[in-house]
Amino acid sequence: MRNAAIVAVLTIGLTGQATAQSNPAPANGAVAASRTEMRELIEATQAAAKASRENVDYARVVPDLLYQILTKLDKIETKLDKVETTLKETQAAAARRR
């Protein structure tokens, strides 16, 4: 069993090396690409850059909007507190009159 496993590993290893040697890599590690492939790559890069730019703009705008919303909510809360205080005072004054 052990010998069979060793033989299998060696066979797979040597087959992999033979396959790698039979398909030579392009000179200087260059990849052959056609003009259409290069154009598609450039367009994809431009689309990624545009999406990144929009994401940054969105990240800048959202905190400002959230700040404005929170400020408005604080103002509304303050007004509601004033109304509540006035109602309590009015109810207390009406209770004292009775």
Enter the pTM of the model: 0.40
The pLDDT, as a whole number, for residue 44 is: 92
Domain count, the chain: 1
C-alpha angle 32/12/22, rounded to 5°? 30
pLDDT tens digits along 28-84? 655 667 888 889 989 999 999 999 888 888 777 778 888 889 999 999 999 999 999
Confidence of residue 25 (pLDDT cuts 50, 70, 90): low
Find tokens 């004033």 and name the residue: 82
With contact defined as beta carbons under 8 Å apart, do 32 and 26 qualify? yes
Q: Predicted confidence band at 23 (pLDDT cuts at 50, 70, 90)?
A: low
pLDDT at residue 63, as a whole number? 80
Query: 10 Å Cβ neighbour count for 78?
Result: 10
- Give me the count of residues in the chain: 98
Average pLDDT over residues 10-36: 64
Domain that holds residue 27: 2-97
State the pLDDT at residue 62.
Answer: 76
